Amino acid sequence: MTTSDWSPVAELCRRVTGDLDRLARDSVTTIRRDLPAYAAVPHDEHLAAVTEQQRRRLDALAGRRLLAPADLERAADLARRRARQGIGVDVLIGAYHLGDQELWRALCADPGPAAPLLPDVAAQLLRLLHAISTVLASAHGDVTRELHSHRATLSSRLLELLVAGRDDAEAARLADALGLDPRGDFVAATWATSGADVVLPPEVARELDRAPVPVVHSSPPGAVVVLARGDGDDWLAGTAGRLPMGGPVGVGLRRRGLRGAVVSLGDARLALGAAGEGGGVTRFGDVWAQACLLAETERLEPLVATAVRTAGEHPHLAETVLAFAAADMSVARTAEALHLHANSVTYRLQRWAQLTAWDPRSFEQLVASAVACRVALRGSSR
């Protein structure tokens, strides 16, 4: 087909361009209805961008050419802006598809002499969409990586300050920049890790990035620390149990303000110190008594030394004491958990009392015994 054979399409494009204001308005209405994320884009700005992009597409279509470098660069600039506005690349490309549907309807409404050429017009539109999608994805990805890197830097600095106990003006500025209200509620979680350098598995990073509330995370030496807005406490605890991090995780209490974030981070560390070796989630609210006592091991050492030594020498007795505590002092439930006869459980508890002078059937002495057993277990795992 010669260039002159395309003249009916060129004329059709000129007619559609004459009605571009209506076409762009219809396109924007469809995009904002079907893609709610575009609510983040001011309407007038959105309309101006769609108008410009559709004009450039119609010009290229009329000339039966691909988009010029200047056209593609304008599209790339738009992709970068949308990335900074929080519009995902899939949503961005979806908006172009919706705009093309409106454009195609306008071209088909009254094609006139161009009707026999509509299959070629459709093919040309697809070529234009493919070329622009590649540019959009590349430009959007550059900004997304830049923003992710910047957010990671800010997150790391905020958590560094909070772990150090600083809830000052710098921490408040960082929290605000990360979408965390410095006066709001916070809840923290921490995982113990082996080695100084921790790289989050991709699936873990994606899970945290998809959080329903603002979340920041960092990997200081020997740990992974996560801080979430307070209304994400159940989500954080549930997610912590699913993430393939290995080892236990401690979750702090929901607390108010950046000072509360500092305290919740401390809660999480204390809960982690009281966690068992089998992994899973340990909430500070469930183990606060043992957690606080275990944090003072050095201070308590003269008081618990005999029991710690006994637990180390008789691990089956320590296992029974801990199971008895977990079973709310029920011999029957302890026996079921350990697959023992109830008489065996009773014997072991009596033997523990003989060796330590602490009767685990007394609530206060059971708490002390459980702390000693935890200390012994922690020492044997080092």
CATH fold of 169-286 reads Alpha-Beta Plaits (3.30.70)
Q: How far is CA 220 from CA 32, 291, 351, in A?
A: 42, 22, 44
Q: Say whether domain 296-380 belongs to CATH 1.10.10.2840.
A: yes
Which residue is listed with tokens 């989050």? Answer: 200
Q: Print burial letters for 197-216: b (CB count within 10 Å at least 16), e (below 16).
A: ebebeeebeebbeebebbbb
Same fold, 3-147 and 296-380: no
Return the structure tokens found at 353: 């009392």
**Residue 83 burial by Cβ neighbours in a 10 Å radius (0-12, 13-18, 19+):** buried
Phi, psi of 224 (to 5 degrees): -125, 125
How far is 284 from 273, CA to CA, in rounded Å?
10
| Boundaries of every domain in the chain | 3-147, 169-286, 296-380
Say how far apart CA 222 and CA 219 lie, in whole Å. Answer: 8
**Three-state SS at 227:** strand
Q: Tokens 């009707």 belong to which residue? A: 115
| Alpha-carbon gap, residue 238 to 232, rounded angstroms | 10
Cα torsion at 183, 187, 192, 196 (round to 10°)? -20
Structure tokens at 12: 């059709």
Superfamily of domain 3-147: Globins (1.10.490.10)
Phi and psi at residue 68, to the nearest 5°: -70, 160
Between the alpha carbon of residue 153 and those of residues 24, 196, 235, 253, the distances in Å are 40, 18, 24, 26
Per-residue pLDDT of the chain (382 residues; tens, 9 = 90+): 444 589 999 999 999 999 999 999 999 999 999 999 999 999 999 999 999 999 999 999 999 999 999 999 999 999 999 988 889 899 999 999 999 999 999 999 999 999 999 999 999 999 999 999 999 999 999 888 887 788 888 988 999 999 999 999 999 999 998 889 999 999 999 887 655 556 666 777 777 777 888 888 887 766 788 899 988 888 888 877 776 666 688 999 999 999 999 999 999 999 988 776 656 788 999 888 778 877 877 787 788 889 989 999 999 999 999 999 989 999 999 999 999 999 999 999 999 999 999 999 999 899 889 888 887 877 655 4
